[in-house]
Amino acid sequence: MRSRMTWACGFCLVLSACSGSPGGSAQGGQSSGGAGGTGGVAGTSTGGTGAGATGCGKAADDDADGDGWTEAAGDCDDCAAAVHPGGVEVCDGRDNDCNGVIDDGAVITPAGGAPVRVSTSSFPDAAPSGLASNGDAYLAAYTSGQGEHIFTTGLLADGSAIPPGDVELSVGESDSFGGPAVWLGDRYGVVWQDRRHGNYEVFFTLLNAQGDKRIPDVRISAADGFSIYPSLGWNGSELVVVWQDERDNPGLYNVYGQVMDIDGNPIGGTLALTSDQVGFGNEAPWVAVGTDSVGVVWSSGSTDSRVVRFQTFAPDLTPLLAAPIALTDGTTNARGYTVAWNKDNYVVAWHDESASPRAIYAAVVEQDGTITVPVTALSNPGSARSRNPTVKAFGDRVLVVYQDNRDGNQGDELYARMVDDKLSPLTAEERITFWPKDSTYPIASFGPGGNVGVLYRDYDQVSFEQQVHFLSLSCAMAP
Ligand SMILES: [Ca+2]
Ligand SMILES: [Ca+2]
Ligand SMILES: [Ca+2]
Ligand SMILES: [Ca+2]
């Protein structure tokens, strides 16, 4: 028999009735390499899995994508021929001219199409965990049946499934919960947790665009107690996985991390990223990869009081700051946090369930820990509340998508807004879902044509089951 965790902050990411979610893990797929599509070069997608099979971007003096520029000469993405100094900026989720800004000046608006149901299994509920793109299509990952199974599926730009559709990622009925997916230039990487070994461990594998596993599952953690809530980052040559781990102290968590090569081979040991345990310990980390650093956000605290903590690390996960930064003061219930790298600094965002207003909040933090933009409300829910932000960074601005119940439409709807790199609004808050009942847990990814795909949970309008759906925000260059 399966057993299901019910303690304080168990798998609230898929159990909407549970209000104690630390949240971060419900927002997979924010590939921290920046643009979701940073590759997709023809001919590099069928490589093997041995060392050196990455296909592009391995040597600074190679011109792997054949665009005439090496990394050393300034090619900021040697996996994409449409990206190089002097390139023409087009809507593609990439920084074509290597000025540090993705899709300069482009306007992102709702595409207008109806949401597409993604989860097709027979389970009466499903929750999104990851969304990434190779520039031509998406890979979606989701958990079905509250941990019964994890599936992945390829999606076209409009959200329609690429045959064969759902492919099971999990192994048997092993209490499996999905995590983020990231495009690695010629393949997808995905992380998740399951308890095939008795208690939860973190796993990784590589998938092709159809969701087929290309290597056996890689076990990332091997420790007493639960290892859960993995997040995944990619810096163009190395992966970093972070998760919360119970190995040091039963019932109390620390954040752990592991650097890996593109094939899932460990580089260095598994490292504890936190040590000071308060309340439940350190939970539900989220990672983003910066130019010369790795940014990790997590929380510590108790059921109704949480501190959002942030720390930067060197690429080998050596701490860069003497101590983590506290972004909230512990008097409120801050949750649902995430982090993205925005050209020069980190944007950390979360929601607060007891602040006034109960809004989406964010701060801008430099690699050296300097907070250059203090905590700022990104939404204005009035007496309602906003939750679970997902952010996509463009370099000079940030798109934030979140859920909010201000409209009274039987629960939450998704909203989107663009803010600048100082967190000042560039657009109004715009509602992007309209079906009755809750629309929740958005995960955004750059996708084909620079559109921003959003994977989220909504009620199927026939069965009224909570299923994973997809909608698209379209990119248009300014005239
Ligand atoms: Ca090149
Ligand atoms: Ca290039
Ligand atoms: Ca640019
Ligand atoms: Ca572009």
Q: Where are the domains of the chain?
A: 13-52+101-477
Q: Say whether pLDDT at 226 is over 50.
A: yes
Q: How far apart are CA 104 and CA 237, in angstroms?
A: 26
Question: By the 8 A CB rule, do 161 and 138 touch?
Answer: no
Which ligand has the minimum distance to the alpha carbon of residue 38? Answer: 2
pLDDT in tens, 423-459: 999 999 999 999 999 999 999 999 999 999 999 999 9
Q: Say whether pLDDT at 405 is over 60.
A: yes
Res. 406 pLDDT band, cuts 50 70 90: very high
Res. 58 pLDDT band, cuts 50 70 90: low
- What percentage of residues in the chain have a pLDDT greater than 90? 75
Question: By the 8 A CB rule, do 194 and 215 touch?
Answer: no
Question: By the 8 A CB rule, do 61 and 72 touch?
Answer: yes
Burial 335-352 (b: 16+ CB within 10 A, else e): bbbbbbbbbebbbbbbbb
Structure tokens at 389: 């932000």
Structure tokens at 206: 């590589």
Distance 228 CA to ligand 3 centre (A): 36
Q: How far apart are CA 336 and CA 379, in angstroms?
A: 14
Largest CA distance in the chain: 59
pLDDT in tens, 237-261: 899 999 999 999 898 999 999 999 9
Res. 4 pLDDT band, cuts 50 70 90: very low
Q: What is the pTM of this model?
A: 0.89
Distance 349 CA to ligand 3 centre (A): 24
Q: Say whether pLDDT at 404 is over 70.
A: yes
**Average pLDDT estimate for 303-309:** 88
- Is 138 exposed, middle or buried, given 0-12, 13-18 or 19+ CB atoms closer than 10 A? buried
Cβ < 5 A residues, ion ligand 2: 65, 67, 75, 77, 80, 83-84
Res. 122 pLDDT band, cuts 50 70 90: confident
Distance 66 CA to ligand 3 centre (A): 19
Of 4-13, 141-150, 382-391, minimum mean pLDDT range? 4-13
Cβ < 5 A residues, ion ligand 3: 95, 97, 99, 101, 104
Q: Say whether pLDDT at 37 is over 80.
A: no
Most confident of 24-28, 29-33, 75-79: 75-79
Residue with tokens 């419900």: 26
Structure tokens at 479: 């005239």
Q: How far apart are CA 32 and CA 83, in angstroms?
A: 18
Q: How far apart are CA 451 and CA 103, in angstroms?
A: 10
| Residue 56, pLDDT score | 58
Distance 247 CA to ligand 2 centre (A): 43
| Residue 340, pLDDT score | 98
Q: How far apart are CA 437 and CA 465, in angstroms?
A: 10
Which residues does 198 contact at the CB level (< 8 Å), separation at least 6?
none
| Residue 126, pLDDT score | 96
Distance 84 CA to ligand 4 centre (A): 11
In 3D space, the residue among 78, 88, 85, 91 whose CA is nearest the CA of residue 38 turns out to be: 78
- What percentage of residues in the chain have a pLDDT greater than 70? 88
Distance 86 CA to ligand 2 centre (A): 11
Q: Say whether pLDDT at 54 is over 70.
A: no
Main-chain phi, psi angles of 303, to 5 degrees: -60, -45
Mean pLDDT, the chain, whole residue set: 87
Q: Which CATH class is domain 13-52+101-477?
A: mainly beta
Per-residue CA distances from 199 to 58, 150, 175, 202 (Å): 37, 17, 10, 10
Distance 261 CA to ligand 2 centre (A): 21
Q: Say whether pLDDT at 36 is over 80.
A: no
| Residue 40, pLDDT score | 29
| Residue 13, pLDDT score | 34
Q: Say whether pLDDT at 14 is over 70.
A: no
